[in-house]
Amino acid sequence: MQFIKKHYEKVVLSIVLLGLAVAAAALPLQVSGIRRALDETVTGVGRTKPKPFKPIDLSTNEVVVRRFAGAKGLQLSGAHNILNPVQWKKRPDGGLIKISTGNELGAGAIEVIKIDELKMTVSFDVAAGGPENAEPRYIVTVSRDTEANPKKRTVSQKTPKGEFFNLLRVEGPPEAPTSLVLQLKDENEPITIAKDQPYVRPIGYAADLKYPPEKQTFLRKRKDDTITLQRDSETYKIVAIGPNQVVLSAKSTQKRTPLKSNASPPLK
């Protein structure tokens, strides 16, 4: 006992060192055991047969996708009345007319009955008498169907110069020529006219129109003519006429309305 009391610290230190020596000796064994366990775990996982992947059921999702693919957009305008009120107007005979497209009344309701071709005709009538020893003069008649004033549509003038032409030369005897060669004011190439062979070319169109809501008819309307509809405060001007179409322009708004013709094109 006396020895232990004198060498207490040495005894304790010896025990601790002995324990450390035992732990150090046992550590390789523990590491080897852990490594063996890990190898067995890895080997066991590698040998395990994987289970087949089970597809996810997406049938409900596919149904929703198909519904969206065939979905129709929300239409806020048109013939339906979900958000649009229906307007009705009274006919002259007391009946009612439903305004669905906006063309039941006004310019859009005008129908094109017929479109005719308008022509310019230049003809050589007769040789006019004149003073003795003076150059012979000739009467040339110009007819323009597009002229608004009927009295001015046909004009007869004496050569050598007129409002619409200049005389270039005379073919045949001056007293009784066979034909005249003229230069029209709006033509680049000269023309030749004889008594039995006038010069004719198209220069525009005239249209026959009707307005069924008020039973109005407008005949032989030309470009720049105006149209007034009953029960309509607007005035419409014809700004263009083609072989198959008439274009109207509202005087107050300048809005243009094209009117297609269902009739056959005018004969040439």
Question: Which structure tokens are listed for 265?
Answer: 């094109």
Q: What is the pLDDT of residue 209?
A: 95
Give CA–CA dist 232/257, Å, rounded: 15
Q: Could you read off the pLDDT of 85-119 as tens digits, one per residue?
A: 777 777 666 777 777 777 778 888 899 999 999 99
Two tokens, residue 70: 């065939």
Rounded-to-integer distance, Cα 206 and Cα 225, Å: 10
Q: Where are the domains of the chain?
A: 2-38, 97-110+205-260, 116-203
Residue-wise pLDDT tens digits, 117-157: 999 899 987 776 555 556 778 888 889 888 878 888 888 87
Question: Lowest mean pLDDT: which of 4-18, 51-65, 174-188, 201-215?
Answer: 4-18
Q: When comparing pLDDT for 174 and 171, which is higher?
A: 171
Stronger pLDDT, 239 or 15, i.e. the higher one: 239
Percentages helix, strand, coil for the chain, rounded to the nearest 5?
25, 35, 40
* 3-state SS, residue 259: strand
Coil, helix or strand for 157?
strand
Average of per-residue pLDDT values in the chain? 81
Residue, of 184 and 68, whose pLDDT is higher = 184
| pLDDT exceeds 80 at position 264 | no
